[in-house]
Structure 1
């Protein structure tokens, strides 16, 4: 079990790395393609890639009849459709806000502020009857203080971008809580596959009505779309799902918090995004808030 736990935590680390680095291609793509069109391509293609992975993992589970006993989970596509569609709507809303924000703010800042959803999950969960404790509030206080340090009130457009990312974090927290309830009854990978496809279709429809997207723009943004559909969508999610069975919850939340650090490092390394001392202090406080909150809640407030 110890070896499996280490393997699981390596998979989680890779998922956090893929998601953190993803803010770079997301930012780069905005020079060539409209935000909603970009989301349409990445999620539709990512969802389609996930289809054979679903069947591959299903065949592995069937070959190991001892796995998954005690959990009555539906593996029928049609039964998973309503829940997947609901998740797809939340993913569409959160991803649209996040992607548009990158027109105004940096990849590193967006990555760090998106990480705030880890703190919002237990807070929003209170309204659904989930329990939390004082560590959550200490963590949120630290993170909000860090967010204040990170915010640059002199840069109006950047502030608009930061606020859009913050709004997306709320939506992602709602999506996580919705998914948490649904995966108890429906196959997680099928839900994911449906949510990606629904999100992509909603993005495509919204793009048709609000943007002037062309096939050439998608060709120009081919490598960011490819990165997102393979690494950020299909692989990262599959790694996370495979790891959840064996990773210790307290370790898993800390590892997922590193997504923000990876985003900051990738922004500096690939886009030459530099943070001043005040902004670095803000990022440090936000990361500390995430870790403090989850240290106090490692037994799980919503799992």
Structure 2
């Protein structure tokens, strides 16, 4: 079990890395294309990319033998459709709110407020009967403190943007808990593929209503869309779903919160955004939060 948990944590850490680096292409893409159209392309193409991967992996394993906590996991597309569609809806809502909020508020504030989903997951989880422990709460507290240090409050940001990011954090928390429930009952890769295709279609419909999407805009933003579709969508979200099978949901969110640290690192390396001493302290506190949660979960305190 410990080996399974370690593998799950590595997958979640890689997902956080790919998402963190994604802020660079996301930032560049916004110069060429609207947020909803961008989400439509990346999620729909990411979903299509995942379909052959699902069939390839399915041919390599005996699916009937796959069980989770004594419950057989369903592998038919038809049975996975309702759960995948639900995840796709939450993902569409969260991604749209987060992407659009950056029009109104600064990336620093958005980064900090997004971090609230760390706190929301165990809180919403408690109302669903999940158990958690003081190590996880300590890790969450340190990670939130780190996010606070990372954020830049010197810019006077508009309330509407802040509220949109907070709403997106709440929806992301629901998506994480929904995924945690579903991956123990349905095939994670099929859920992921359906989730992206549904999210892509919903984003496309919303883009046609709200924005004026053009094919030229998508061509201009081709490489950011390609990165997002392959690494940030097909690979990272799949790693999240596979990783969540064997990691506690509150622990998983602390690992995934490192996305912010990776985002700062990618901005520094690729966009020459320099880190201040305060920001470095923030990164350190977030890492400390991850290790505290890690220690608590491995000392056998949870469950």
Matches within 5 A, 1:83-122: 83-103=83-103, 104-106=105-107, 114=114, 116-122=116-122
User: Is the contact between residue 30 and residue 102 of structure 1 (CA under 8 Å) also seen in structure 2?
Assistant: no
How big is each residue's C-alpha offset from its partner over 1:126-158, in whole Å with a ceiling of 9 and x where there is no partner?
A: 110111122333334334444444443331238
1:74–1:80 CA contact under 8 A, matched in 2: yes
1:17-28 alignment runs, 5 A limit = 17-28=17-28
SS at match of 1:60: coil
Q: Which moved more, 1:253-262 or 1:229-238?
A: 253-262
* Paired position in structure 2 for 1:217: 217
Question: Which residue of 1 is the match for residue 152 of structure 2?
Answer: 152
- Cα distance 1:194–1:301, how it changes in 2: closer, same or farther (>3 A)? farther
Alignment of 1:20-59 (within 5 A): 20-59=20-59
Structure 1 172/219 Cα, relative in aligned 2: closer, same or farther at 3 Å? same
Shifted more, 234-243 versus 220-229: the winner is: 234-243
What is the aligned partner in structure 2 of residue 270 from structure 1?
270
Task: Give the stretch that moved more between structures: 231-240 or 46-55.
Answer: 231-240
SS of equivalent residue, structure 2 residue 60: helix
Contact 1:118/1:290 (CA < 8 Å) preserved in 2?
Answer: no
Cα distance in 2 for residues equivalent to 1:12 and 1:176:
12
**Structure 1 residues 4 and 144 mapped into 2: Cα distance closer, same or farther (>3 Å)?**
closer
Q: How far does residue 278 in structure 1 lie from its aligned partner after superposition?
A: 3.2
1:259–1:137: structure 2 CA closer, same or farther, 3 Å change rule?
same
After TM superposition, list the pairs within 5 Å mapping 1:246-285 onto structure 2: 256-285=256-285
Per-residue deviation, residues 34-93 of structure 1 (Å, max 9, x unmatched): 00110000000000111111111111123x765548441111212211111111111011
Give the number of equivalent residue pairs: 300
Give me the whole-angstrom Cα distance separating, in 2, the residues matched to 1:301 and 1:174: 21
| Equivalence for 2:178 | 178
CA contact (8 A) 1:22 1:232 kept: yes
CA deviation after TM superposition for structure 1 residue 191, in Å = 1.1
SS of residue matched to 1:61 = coil
Maintained 8 Å contact 2:109/2:153: no
Unpaired runs of 5+ residues, structure 2, are none
Q: 1:15 Cα deviation (Å)? A: 3.0
Aligned-residue CA RMSD (Å): 3.4
Q: 2-side partners of 1:262 and 1:19: how far apart?
A: 8
**Distance in 1 (alpha carbons) for counterparts of 2:5 and 2:168:** 31
Alpha-carbon offset, residue 182 of structure 1 = 1.5
Report the TM-score, using the length of structure 2 for normalisation. 0.82
Question: Using the alignment, how far apart are the partners of 2:247 and 2:227 within structure 1?
Answer: 26
Unpaired runs of 5+ residues, structure 1, are none
Distance 1:173 1:135, change over 3 A: same
Please list the CA deviations of residues 86-126 of structure 1 after superposition, one character each: whole Å capped at 9, or x if unmatched: 111110111112222344433x7756764553443222101
Comparing 210-219 and 274-283, the one that deviates more:
274-283
